Amino acid sequence: MLCPPEIHYLELLQKIKADINLEEFLFARTSCDEFNEECWEMHCTACDNTFFESKSKRLKDFYKCPVCGCEIIPKRWNETKQIKKQHFTYYLFQRGNSSDIWIRAYEVIRSIYGDLDFREYARYYFDYGIAKRWNFDFKGDLYQVKAIKTKYLYKGFYNMSLENYIGSIDIETIKGSCLEYSQLNKAIQVLNDPIAYLDLYIKNPLLEMLWKFNLPHLFLFKIGFSKTVNMKAKNIKDLFFGLGIQDVDNIRDINNSAEFKIYKNLRLKYNFPANDEVCQYAKSISRYDCKSIMFYREKTFKYLKKQSKNNQAYDNVAIYRDYLNELNELQIENPDYYPSDLFESHQRLSLRITAMKTAKYNTQFRIKRKLLKKYCFKYNKMFIRPISSETELIKEGEQQHHCVARYSDSHIKSDKAIFVLRNKIEPLKPFYTIEFDTKKLVLLQCYGFRNCSPTNAVKDFINHWKNYLKECI
Ligand SMILES: [Zn+2]
C-alpha cells in the first residue's frame, strides 16, 4: 500500500492538544502537612503538580488551580476515573499526492497526571469514488478491512463508543481534495461518525445537497435513510427518487421514511401538487396508519377539505379512516364513501357497531366483574373498580377519546383487565382508565382524557392500591 506522510510524535501531540479542549481537574484528598496539620493534598491535571492547600477553603470553592491558575473542575481523589472518560478518537487528516486524503485514527487516553497517550488503530484512504480502511493487528501490521464503518453514523441513538469522538477537522487540508465539498464541518455537528459519513459521501457526492438544502434530519431516519435518499442517484432529481427542488421545503417537514413514502406516492403516483397542504395530509395519513387506497384519490382530498371547519384535508383523516373501517366492519352494501356529513355518519355507524358488540359480550363482562370484585379499592378522594360492562367500556373510550374499547377481548379472556379510576365526588364521570395485570399485579396502562398521563395524586393512589393487593390477594 501507499503510505500517508510521516508525522512526528511531538508534532502530533501538539496538534491534539491544540485541537481538543480537554477538561482539567483538580483532585483532592485530606492529608497532613509537615506541621502535622490537616490539609488538602491536591493534584492538578493541567500543570501536573501535586501540592498542599489549607483546609480553610472548601473543595467546591476551587475553580482555578492555585499553582498554574488554569480553570479546573474540583473533584475528590477517588473520582480520578473522571479522567478515564477522556478517552477518545483523534482523526488526523493528511493530504496525499493529489486529490486523495489520508485519515489516521488515534485512540487517545489520558492518565491521571494529565498527560496524553495515543496509538494509531486504523488508517483510511479517500479519493473520488474510493474509500479504504486498514486496521492494525496485534503485531502492529496493517491489514485492509472490507467495510469502512457505518455502525454509529447517527448522534444520540447509541452509547458513545470510542470511535464516535472526534477532534477538529482540518479544513485547510481538505481544500482542493476529493472531500472539499463534503460539507464535513456541518456533518460532524449532526452525525456521530465522520468516517461513516465520508464513506457515504464518496459513494454519492450528491449528499452535499442535503446540507445545502438544509435537510440534515434525513440522516436521522436510520434505516429509512436509504428509502428517502437514493444513494445511486446521478442527478438531483433522482436524489429523492423523483421528487425535485419544489419538494425540498416539504421534505424538510417530514419526520420519517413512512411519511416520505406517502408524500412521494401522492406526488408522483397520484399527481398531487407540491405544497404544504399535501405534505400535512401525507403526514396525517402516516400518523393514523391509513391503509385505504381511498386516501390517494383527489376526490377524497377535496371531500375531506370540504368536511373540515378549517378547510384542511388533514383535519379529518383519522375520522375518515374510522368511517371506512366501520363501513367495512358492518359490511354495508353500496356504501356511501362521501356522506354529506362525515362526522354525523361516523357517529351513527359507531353506535350501530357498539350495539352489535354489546349484545355479544355483556354476559362475559358480568362474570368477569364478579371475579374481580376483590380488586375494588378506595383511598383518599378516589376509588377503583373493574369495568362493569362492555357498554361502559365503549362509552369510556368514547368520552375519554382513547381506544380502550378495543380491549374487550383481553379483558374477558386474559389476566389483563380494565379498571376505571373515579373521583368519589363524580362517580359516574370517566377519570382515568387502567389496564392492569391481575395476576402479576402490574400496571400496564393508565390514561386519562385524550390519553393524558397520570397525575402525581393518581400515581400515589395506584401505589397504595398495589400495596393493598399484594397483602390481600
Ligand atoms: Zn495547575
**pLDDT at residue 1, as a whole number:** 61
Q: Which H or E element spans position 466? A: helix 456-472
Q: What is the DSSP string of 94-141?
A: EE-SSS-EEEEEEEEEE-TTS-EEEEEEEEEEEETTEEEEEEE-TTS-
Q: What is the mean pLDDT of the chain?
A: 87
Rg of the chain over all Cα atoms, to the nearest angstrom: 32
Cα of 35 vs centre of ligand 1, distance in Å, is: 24
Cα of 161 vs centre of ligand 1, distance in Å, is: 30
pLDDT band at 78 (very low <50, low <70, confident <90, very high): confident
Q: List, in order, residues 6 or more apart from 358 with CB less than 8 Å away.
A: 389, 390, 391, 394
pLDDT band at 162 (very low <50, low <70, confident <90, very high): very low
Cα of 68 vs centre of ligand 1, distance in Å, is: 4
- pLDDT of 333 above 80: no
Cα of 56 vs centre of ligand 1, distance in Å, is: 19
Cα of 190 vs centre of ligand 1, distance in Å, is: 34
Task: Give the bridge partners for 90, in sequence order.
Answer: 106
The residue ranges of every structural domain in the chain are 23-84, 361-472
Q: At what angle do helices 298-307 and 317-330 cross, to 10 degrees?
A: 110
- pLDDT of 443 above 60: yes
- pLDDT of 382 above 60: yes
- pLDDT of 359 above 80: no
**pLDDT at residue 372, as a whole number:** 94
Nearest-angstrom CA–CA distance, 338 and 342: 7
- pLDDT of 440 above 70: yes
Q: What angle do CA 125, 129, 135 make, to 5 degrees?
A: 25
Least confident of 149-153, 156-160, 318-322, 325-329: 156-160
C-alpha separations of 198 from 48, 107, 143 in Å: 38, 19, 20
Cα of 40 vs centre of ligand 1, distance in Å, is: 15
- pLDDT of 450 above 90: no
pLDDT band at 197 (very low <50, low <70, confident <90, very high): confident
**pLDDT at residue 39, as a whole number:** 92
Q: In the numeric block, which cell numbers belong to residue 468? A: 393493598
Please answer whether residues 94 and 104 qualify as being in contact, where contact means their C-beta atoms are separated by less than 8 angstroms: yes
Cα dihedral across residues 84, 89, 92, 96: positive or negative: positive
Choose among 131, 126, 118, 127: nearest CA to 90. Answer: 118
Mind listing the pLDDT tens digit for each residue in 262-300? 999 999 999 999 999 999 999 999 999 999 999 999 999
Cα of 343 vs centre of ligand 1, distance in Å, is: 72
Cα of 90 vs centre of ligand 1, distance in Å, is: 25
- pLDDT of 156 above 50: no
**pLDDT at residue 166, as a whole number:** 60
Cα of 170 vs centre of ligand 1, distance in Å, is: 29
**pLDDT at residue 161, as a whole number:** 44
Cα of 86 vs centre of ligand 1, distance in Å, is: 18
The pTM score is 0.65
**pLDDT at residue 347, as a whole number:** 87
Cα of 120 vs centre of ligand 1, distance in Å, is: 29
